Amino acid sequence: MSATWLPPEQYAETLMKATAFACLFFTDEEDRPVQLRAVYSQAHPWQWPGGTMDPGERPWETAVRECREETGMVVEGPTRLLAAVYGLPGAEWPYSTVGFVFDGGRLTADRIAGITLDPAEHDAVRVLSPREWRAYMPERDFARLRAVLEARRTGVTAYFDAWDWDD
């Protein structure tokens, strides 16, 4: 540790850089996860409504905005954090990633049928049991799904720190 204090703007340049995302996790009334198929990601095809935080935006605001943009659904809360997600930077992306997975609740069949996808981002909605989801997801994505399901079941927030860019 240096005995010399740096001005805040210089000190900030020495710190780790990270991007942040927030999303909403939904299930149907039988607790089967609802996921969207991304048109832009073959590596992570099945996702939850969410995205990168805009400047000045808080995580919950991001999750609600992204859900509305991607599905047409308006979610009001209550706010319940299911998981914190962390990933190290890699060759594809030079920053660490910090994420927040919020509980969006249980959706009725009518609400799921009413989802309106943004075709620039997603082209399908699926509702499957966790066992069925395994066949459609890379191992790391499925491990995150299991952690979020366990967090919802137990009420204990999950910490998932295996979301690295180079894995």
What pLDDT score does 78 carry?
Answer: 84
What pLDDT score does 2 carry?
Answer: 59
| Residue 100 identity | F
Closest listed residue to residue 123, CA positions, set 9, 61, 29, 46: 46
Which run of H or of E encompasses 105?
strand 96-107
| Residue 63 identity | A
What pLDDT score does 67 carry?
Answer: 97
Segments of the chain scoring below 50 in pLDDT: none
What pLDDT score does 154 carry?
Answer: 97
What pLDDT score does 92 carry?
Answer: 83
Torsions phi, psi of 39, nearest 5? -85, -15
Burial class of residue 166 (count of CB atoms within 10 Å of its CB; 0-12, 13-18, 19+) = exposed
Q: Name the pTM for this structure.
A: 0.92
In whole angstroms, give the CA distance from residue 70 to residue 36: 9
What pLDDT score does 156 carry?
Answer: 97
Which run of H or of E encompasses 152?
helix 139-154
CATH architecture of 17-160: Alpha-Beta Complex (3.90)
What pLDDT score does 165 carry?
Answer: 73
What pLDDT score does 159 carry?
Answer: 96
